[in-house]
Every structure is written in structure tokens, then in C-alpha cells.
Amino acid sequence: MKCELFIFAMPPGDLPTCMSFDSMSSPVSLRPYTPADEDAAIELWRRTWQQHYPHLDFAARVPWWRARWRNELVPVARIVLAESGGALIGFVTVDPKTMYLDQIVVAPEQWGSAVALTLLTEAKRLSPKGLDLLVNKDNARAIRFYQKHGFVYAGEDKNPVSGIAVNRMAWRATSASP
């Protein structure tokens, strides 16, 4: 089944069965998370963090990530997956009630593509009043990405688990932003 929608024009509400768009390289589809996606999502999460912080052993953190995924994210977040060619290439987790965007994860080989913006746009659609997030202070690439797409610095914080310094960032809907 092929369905093509222009995602920027979609009203808030439930995610359609699928959405696709042509990125510069190949078609990308968005779909809701299902429990069968857990292993692939956690492995993508691990792989992206390992690429960004190669000096850390993220394989040792997989049991913790799995517990956090099952106990903290899945029960409250809307999780949307990005796929291309049948492979998981990204996901976003957002809690529309609290407006908290916990994760945007994009496969390293897709960094610089439209995947992150597509997932961020979906997060804004799911939480149309606004989004709040924490981003590691040393993740300049992510900070620039969020600023470019309407987020503003909202203060300093510390990651509650690692104690690493993070920036609080916020996006609030205006009549001019999706």
C-alpha cells in the first residue's frame, strides 16, 4: 500500500496508517510504533548514541534503555517511526500531555537528510501547542538543529541519570510555525 501525504498540512490527531515523502535519496515513511518494533528501536538508539559518543560503552546500557523504553516512554509517549526501504531509520517520542519531546533518533547514515526535520514536524503535529526538551550541552549539532526550527534556550539543567549538563529548550506554536 502506498500513501502519500504532505505532512506539514496535516491537522493534529491520530497518525494515519502511513505517510511517505520522497527525500533526496529514497522514500521515507512514518508509522506508529508497535511492540514488535522494540528491538529495532533500541538498537537504533544504541547505535546513534555510540556514533556520537564513541568513547562510551553504550552496549552496557542496553538493559537500562530497554527498561526505560518499556516503563517510561511506551506508557506515555506517542512514538512514531521513520522507515526507508523497510529499514528503521529514525523515531521520535513525544508526550502531548506534558509537551515533552524525549527522543529524536536518526540513523547516523541519515544525519543531514530530511529525516530529523520530518520527525520534528511530526512531534509538532502531535503536540501542537508546544514542545520542551533537554539536549546535551556538548551536542552542538542538535542545538543548532533545534534553534533553526524554532526552539529557544529555556535554561540549564542536568540529566537526571548521568548528571551531564544539558540545555532546556522550548518551542511554542505561533501562527507562523507548523
Average pLDDT on 48-67 reads 84
More confident residue, 100 or 8: 100
CA dihedral over 150, 69, 127, 11, signed as positive or negative: positive
* In the predicted structure, residue 12 carries a pLDDT above the cut 50: no
Q: 178, 151, 176: which is closest to 167 by C-alpha? A: 151
Q: What is the distance between the alpha carbons of residues 154 and 170, in angstroms, rounded to a whole number? A: 6
Average pLDDT on 68-76 reads 95
CB contact at 8 A, 1 and 20: no
* Predicted local distance difference test score (pLDDT) of residue 18: 39
* Predicted local distance difference test score (pLDDT) of residue 24: 46
CB contact at 8 A, 42 and 67: no
Q: What is the pLDDT of residues 101-159, one digit of tens each?
A: 999 999 999 988 899 999 999 999 999 999 999 999 988 999 999 999 999 999 999 98
Please state, for a pLDDT cut of 70, what percent of the chain lies above it: 84
Domains and CATH numbers, the chain: 15-172 (3.40.630.30)
* Predicted local distance difference test score (pLDDT) of residue 11: 34
* Predicted local distance difference test score (pLDDT) of residue 177: 53
Specify the pTM: 0.82
